[in-house]
């Protein structure tokens, strides 16, 4: 399965013939200036919570592509108020079948507020089961809830935050990989701001020592997972 990284927690996957974009935050990301947002034409956009570093480009991309936005109830209602016409609300524990496969909404230990200060509901993660099965935790602390993930899907890969400060750091992400029983991890939510800059060599070494493969694609790079 092809995955393209767009910086922070934004990435897209080509999944059963559909393009799915996660947590679009590109045009306001200094590290992603070379990505042309107007060229992105996803079929679906999955949004984990209301913070700007996960949603800033969502309205524009949804409008230009006609994508269906899937996310927490409060988040997609807010997006609808901003003019997004195709959306599907979900909430913790729910599973739903879409054209590309199923989406299961998982717990995330974090907070959520829309960019204009309105209520953003509770933050979530997703397990997507399509031609491959993967888990995107969203912004979250390490939580025992992650032990449930393998009961819901045998993962081919997972996308986990490693930047610390606002989410789990890389040491907790290694413990999360154990809980979710997944050896292929793509790191996200790092380097974008001063608070979350990481030492790449140190992080890569720690993952290697734990017997895990860590993918840190360049922004704009496409990898096969």
**Residues at the contact surface with Mn ion, assessed by CB under 5 A:** 51, 53, 139
Query: Nearest approach, Cβ of 139 to Mn ion (angstroms)?
Result: 4
The residue of the chain with the least Cβ separation from Ni ion equals: 51
C-alpha separations of 66 from 20, 81, 137, 167 in Å: 12, 16, 25, 31
Residue from 12, 51, 143, 174 binding Ni ion (CB under 5 A) = 51
Residue 104 binds which entry of Mn ion, Ni ion, none, CB below 5-8 Å type-dependent = none
**Site stretch for Ni ion (CB under 5 A), options 45-53, 55-63, 113-121, 182-190:** 45-53
CB 60 within 8 A of CB 120: no
Q: Of 51 and 104, which CB lies nearer to Ni ion in the complex structure?
A: 51
Place of tokens 């029983």: 181
DSSP string across 182-215? -SEEEEES-SSSGGG---HHHHHHHHHHTT-EEE
Q: Does 60 bind Ni ion (CB under 5 A)?
A: no
| Residue 144: alpha-carbon gap to chain centroid | 19
Q: Which of 23, 60, 74, 139 binds Ni ion (CB under 5 A)?
A: 139
Residues that bind Ni ion (CB under 5 A): 51, 139
């Amino acid at each position: 399965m092809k995955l393209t990284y767009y910086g922070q927690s934004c990435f897209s996957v080509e999944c059963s013939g559909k393009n799915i974009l996660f947590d679009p935050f590109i045009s306001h990301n200094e590290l992603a200036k070379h990505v042309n947002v107007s060229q992105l034409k996803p079929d679906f956009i999955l949004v984990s919570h209301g913070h700007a570093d996960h949603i800033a480009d969502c309205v524009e991309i949804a409008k230009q592509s006609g994508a269906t936005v899937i996310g927490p109830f409060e988040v997609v209602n807010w997006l609808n108020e901003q003019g997004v016409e195709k959306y599907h609300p979900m909430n913790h524990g729910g599973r739903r079948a879409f054209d590309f496969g199923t989406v299961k909404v998982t717990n995330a230990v974090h907070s959520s507020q829309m960019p204009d200060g309105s209520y953003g509901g509770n933050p979530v993660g997703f397990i997507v089961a399509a031609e491959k099965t993967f888990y995107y935790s969203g912004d979250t602390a390490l939580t025992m809830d992650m032990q449930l993930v393998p009961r819901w899907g045998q993962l081919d890969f997972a996308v986990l935050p490693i930047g610390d400060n606002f989410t789990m750091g890389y040491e907790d992400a290694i413990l999360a990989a154990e809980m979710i029983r997944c050896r292929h991890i793509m790191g996200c939510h790092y380097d974008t701001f001063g608070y979350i800059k990481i030492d790449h060599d140190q992080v890569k070494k720690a993952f290697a020592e734990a017997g895990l493969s860590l993918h840190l694609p360049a922004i704009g790079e496409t990898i096969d997972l």
